[in-house]
Structure 1
Amino acid sequence: MSEFISPDDTRYDERARALVRIGREAIAVADDEKLDAYFADDFVFHGPDGDMTYAQLRSFFAAMRAAFEGFACERRTIVSEGEYIGSRTCMSGRFTAPFEASPIDTIAPNGQPMRLELINVFRYHENGQLAEEWVQYDNVGFLRQLGVDLTEGH
């Protein structure tokens, strides 16, 4: 049994299964058409490094795919209530190309595996599009996996 939720798992409602699908089919692999249909034009991302627009988040996803070979975006736990979904998300891949979306500047690859665990809360518009996301993750741990020595002020 996989540690991740399948988009076909009927224990979850359709909105939750769509969240699993968008991670696999349009975040982990480039499919801007699917992303554009899923995200609202006025989408706002609230993260540890500040807020981002949908266009900025889409660029972040592209930078992740470019830097991490075998990039994956999977959901581990989903709780759905009304217009909100809460999720434990796992992004992973092997760091094989420069990462240009780092909060501290471009980071050179170290060839090592990366696993970023996130806690997300998503809010949807009445039309079903994703309107807002709040996310927390361990930025320091993420940077350490990428080989950044934070003790030297990098």
Structure 2
Amino acid sequence: MTFVQLIDCKTSRFDEMNQLMDTWVEQTKGKRTATHDVIGKDRSDATHYIEIVEFPSYEEAMRNSNLPETDRIFREMVALCDELPTFTDLDVVRDEQLYSANIRRFFETIAAKGALSPLNDLIAENYHDHDPANEQDTIGLDAVRREIEMWRGAFDFTFTVDDQVTEADRVCTRWTWNATHTGDFRGIAATGKQVTMTGTTVFRCRDDGKIAEGWWQYDQLGLMAQLGVLDQLEL
């Protein structure tokens, strides 16, 4: 179970404490078990800071605490505090990655049967799409809807999300696309063939969770080969 430790402290020497944390990160390379560290400053009290440190488990947190580097840095950190810091130990019982959940819903929505939904609850009005298969970037919600409708008109498809990584406002999704070629696709008449394609998309999300920008990479050459286009070129 993921474990989180909250360290609540007051200090008027945060710059020194920040340098101390950099020293700990450098000295514990290859040994520390912490996976994520966030420090927040109280907007109503400039000397009040809360550090949130995440670990894979309580046991891993204890291993981290027992490192000699951690013990030494902790004692130096206490010396920089205006008062003794307090610690709160938390077992994580819910961890909702809201950006990645919205991205999953986007893939499900564009592959859903029936009429395409408005998408304005998922995509920003000024959305900017980068697709190497297109000569120009697709900009705006209406334009991206037309692009999606083009794919939906040519294929009956589903997406499988294979992997997702979230970093700040970016969500990287590795996906598999399975489809039946049912309509015209860039001048290629419907073949009825079952096709598959893999790809990766990086989306940038706004604070409200709406998708603001996207970068696509996918195996279009492999798709064309499955549709028989490359065989025709060889002839």
Task: Indicate whether the TM-score tops 0.5.
Answer: yes
How many residue pairs get matched?
137
Q: Which runs of 4+ in 1 moved over 6 A?
A: none
> Unaligned stretches of 5+ in structure 1?
1-9
Instruction: Specify the alignment match of 1:19 in structure 2.
Output: 103
- Residue of 100, 123, 144 corresponding to 1:57: 144
What residue identity is the alignment partner of 2:213?
A: E
Deviation, 1:17, is 1.9
Q: Indicate yes or no: 2:131 matched with 1:47.
A: yes
Shift in Å, 1:151: 6.5
Out of 86, 110, 116, which is 1:31 matched to?
Answer: 116
- Structure whose CA Rg is larger: 2
**Inter-CA distance 111–123: structure 2 relative to 1 (3 Å threshold):** same
Identity %: 27
Assess, with a 3 A threshold, how the Cα gap between structure 1 residues 119 and 41 changes in structure 2: closer, same or farther: same
> What are the equivalent positions in structure 2 for 1:1-154 lying under 5 Å apart?
13-24=97-108, 26-29=109-112, 30-33=115-118, 35-50=119-134, 51-53=137-139, 54-69=141-156, 71-99=157-185, 102=186, 106-149=187-230, 152=233
C-alpha change, 1:148 and 1:113, in structure 2 (3 Å) is same
TM-score by length of 1: 0.77
Are 1:73 and 1:91, in contact at CA under 8 Å, matched by a contact in 2? yes
Q: Which has the higher contact order (CA 8 A, sep 6+)?
A: 1
SS at match of 1:36: coil
Q: 1:56 to 1:87 in 2, by over 3 A?
A: same
Change in 2 beyond 3 A, CA 1:149/1:115: same
1:84-125 deviations in Å (ceiling 9; x for gaps): 1001022221112222xx3xxx21122111112111111011
Deviation at 1:63, TM superposition (A): 2.1
- Note the alpha carbon deviations across 1:53-75, whole angstroms, 9 max, x for none: 23232222212222223x11231
Deviates more, 1:47-56 or 1:80-89: 47-56
**What is the root-mean-square deviation of aligned Cα atoms in Å?**
2.3
- What amino acid does structure 2 have at the position aligned with 1:152? L
In structure 2, do the counterparts of structure 1 residues 39 and 64 end up closer, same or farther at CA, with 3 Å as the change threshold?
A: same
